[in-house]
Structure 1
């Protein structure tokens, strides 16, 4: 009974200790330290065994960052190893402690006092426990410093694999240029900064972020990162289209008897999208199905723009039409022989309108009498745009513009036009079959013609054989006129010889005829 009582007293004391908070904390710390030592001792591969703090061990740290200190304001580090290997040897308890202080440990190279060039320096360390033996591999490293240089390069965009029929606009890059800061020799190698955008499957405009790559003159990519390293590229993308005028054909009067004085479309053009071969045949769009009879006074109407056959779409899809009307009947007037102005004709081509005479037509206009009578020819233009047309037969829309308040019923009329090559081969001069006889003599013929033509009366200045007599020299005539009158009756020696030759020639001809 006494033993049980004593045991009960000791048990109560232990219960009281476990009820104390400080006692439980102390026991927890002791258990944690024991577990920590057991785990770390078990992780020492080079440890020969023993008690921590008494037996030496080693620890190897791989890929330890190597810090390089240099004058960053004037130089750029272009060559240096990024990491090294560190081996620590010493007491186990110190090795364990080194893990706690790892944030203070550093391996580095000091180039603060060094200038540009290649350097071979020893790797240093600090922050490690003094009781440990530290070895670093490699012990020395090669480093290169270059003088700092900065250059800016515009970003070029390369669009690859654009879908057939799609029209890519000019890409917009933000920011439009990048900056490169490096050694002077390195910067000089850079020729361009480019981004490449893959357009496969793209059917509408888009924006995406792309990496900037630097290239040398040979087109080789350089291992240099610009600032910024990526840019935002916006690529407008659209299908082929053409801009054409919009047209309406208003009647002379509305259903209420009012005269239509002017019709204005806002806007007066539309963009037609579609295949290129379809767009080539579209020169204008006529808006039909307009209810003119309900218009009484000035009216504004919203009209839908029709999509031409074969085209994909038009923009805008609708336009506003403003109609001004007046009381009374419309006055009409004509200008005959009105010339058509041709625009966009390709070089070397001629344009002819087969249905017109001299490319002119009778222009018709109508509107309020006072306005119509005040219009002159110079106020009106009749234009046919032949842009993009090659030689051959085509149809082109006649576009007539003039003062406000005037209608042109012929506006938008399709005219047949024939384009022909304007170049002509140069004409070679005709060769003369008969050479002009020299000294008044005929060329010799081997055979005389069988039937000679009948003789014609001689004309002044010609002999019997229709040969021109030699004309007197103007200089000689002037000299003869300057001689005294007493010598004018005496022929000079040259004239006498000429007359003698002519007489001999006539005598020879007479002999030939007699024979």
Structure 2
């Protein structure tokens, strides 16, 4: 308040000095009393509107007007310096609708000629309406880094109150919050965004929005790829232990990361060391991520390992066949006599139970051997899920011409 009075007193002093200066100039120039008139323009004077603001809204009113002053130079200068007059429009009893209204001025000396520009304005008086609208978030997905995707943005608060003339409220087609972000975007972000109220032609409407800003969160997801889980057994089980099965709890995982790296990743390998496994076991194994892969879902895999005790079975009288004997020659076994031998087979009990001699093929390769006695290795072919050991690893044969 003291500052305001100081400014007014200071302006009054300046105006008096200007008046004395003008008076001296006039006496020096022999101006007549009739030539003491002076005119000036006070620009950008705020325009006030008087109306029932609780129930009506007025649009079309200019924010400021220019006031042209003419009269005694000292009064003109003081009025211009103080600027303590008011430009207003009285719409207290104005009807609803578009109409002409006269701008007026008050708190100004009646000794001055006053002209307001504009003198008349076109205003629209409308019933005041407040309506709630949902805010539609908008985000330019071109700002995303290659391969990244944006989910539906989240707005807080999700609704705003819009106040304006009834005819303007009826024109509302979109209430949007446009969020901007510097490219390239590769993570979830939150920004403040102005709320825009638009008509069907995307023109901004003159309304009051509460709140006029909302918080927009854009969830950004990195590129992803679903790949199969591949179990890789490492190490050897202890003597007498058979790994019956290794089963992951899931068959696929979702990987997230750079698109190029994902394209080069056909599967996810889970190494399982069985060297210390002695009984049925369940292991939780974290998924190891290569460079360029940022996350996996799930992050760990449960692996079930089933084991069996290894048993032994002797299978006898398995015939030894031979391959590659040249025409015109005969072959006889010196050892083993009769061309039969035995195998010691190790494996799961349920597999050994049904094994017979005809499940194995024993043979020797005599290709290129000539007449005479030879010692050759005995080779075995048999089921994959068992191990075996020959009682006799080599055979002694006699080849003779027939």
What's the TM-score, normalizing by structure 2?
0.56
8 A Cα contact 1:173 1:233, kept in partner? yes
8 A Cα contact 1:47 1:58, kept in partner? no
Corresponding residue number in structure 2 for 1:106:
86
Of 240, 265, 268, 1:285 maps to: 268
User: Is 2:49 the partner of 1:68?
Assistant: yes
Distance in 2, Cα, partners of 1:146 & 1:157: 31
Corresponding residue number in structure 2 for 1:497:
none
8 A Cα contact 1:266 1:320, kept in partner? no
Corresponding residue number in structure 2 for 1:118:
98
Instruction: Compute the displacement of 1:270 (Å).
Output: 3.9
Do the aligned partners of residues 328 and 252 (structure 1) sit closer, same or farther apart at CA in structure 2, a change above 3 Å counting?
Answer: farther
User: Is 2:62 the partner of 1:85?
Assistant: no
8 A Cα contact 1:194 1:212, kept in partner? yes
User: Is 2:164 the partner of 1:186?
Assistant: no
Partner SS state of residue 94, structure 1? helix
Partner SS state of residue 287, structure 1? strand
Of 216, 219, 226, 2:199 maps to: 216
Instruction: Compute the displacement of 1:116 (Å).
Output: 0.6
Corresponding residue number in structure 2 for 1:127:
107
Gaps of 5+ in 1: 1-31, 332-365, 370-408, 410-515
Partner SS state of residue 26, structure 2? coil
Higher-helix-fraction structure = 1
Do the aligned partners of residues 43 and 33 (structure 1) sit closer, same or farther apart at CA in structure 2, a change above 3 Å counting?
Answer: same
Distance in 1, Cα, partners of 2:68 & 2:165: 34
Do the aligned partners of residues 68 and 48 (structure 1) sit closer, same or farther apart at CA in structure 2, a change above 3 Å counting?
Answer: farther
Of 22, 26, 32, 1:49 maps to: 26
Do the aligned partners of residues 171 and 319 (structure 1) sit closer, same or farther apart at CA in structure 2, a change above 3 Å counting?
Answer: closer
Distance in 2, Cα, partners of 1:65 & 1:108: 8
Higher-strand-fraction structure = 2
Deviations 1:96-154 (A, max 9, x none): 5435643x421111111222112323322222244444332333332220122333243
Do the aligned partners of residues 250 and 64 (structure 1) sit closer, same or farther apart at CA in structure 2, a change above 3 Å counting?
Answer: same
Gaps of 5+ in 2: 1-9, 312-346, 351-384, 386-402
Residues 1-400 of structure 1 aligned to structure 2 (within 5 Å): 36=14, 40-41=18-19, 49=26, 55-98=36-79, 101-102=82-83, 104-151=84-131, 152-162=133-143, 163-197=145-179, 201-205=183-187, 206-217=189-200, 219-224=201-206, 227=209, 228-244=211-227, 246-249=229-232, 254-255=237-238, 269-275=253-259, 282=266, 284-288=267-271, 290-294=272-276, 303-307=286-290, 312-316=292-296, 319-320=299-300, 329=309
Distance in 1, Cα, partners of 2:348 & 2:75: 109
Q: Which has the larger radius of gyration?
A: 1
Deviations 1:385-433 (A, max 9, x none): xxxxxxxxxxxxxxxxxxxxxxxx9xxxxxxxxxxxxxxxxxxxxxxxx
Do the aligned partners of residues 110 and 35 (structure 1) sit closer, same or farther apart at CA in structure 2, a change above 3 Å counting?
Answer: closer
8 A Cα contact 1:259 1:325, kept in partner? no
Residues matched between the structures, number: 295
Larger RCO: Structure 1 or Structure 2 (Cα < 8 Å, ≥ 6 residues apart)?
A: 2
8 A Cα contact 1:240 1:276, kept in partner? no
Distance in 2, Cα, partners of 1:118 & 1:43: 49
Deviations 1:231-281 (A, max 9, x none): 333223333212445453558985486777987769983424454996598
8 A Cα contact 1:68 1:108, kept in partner? yes
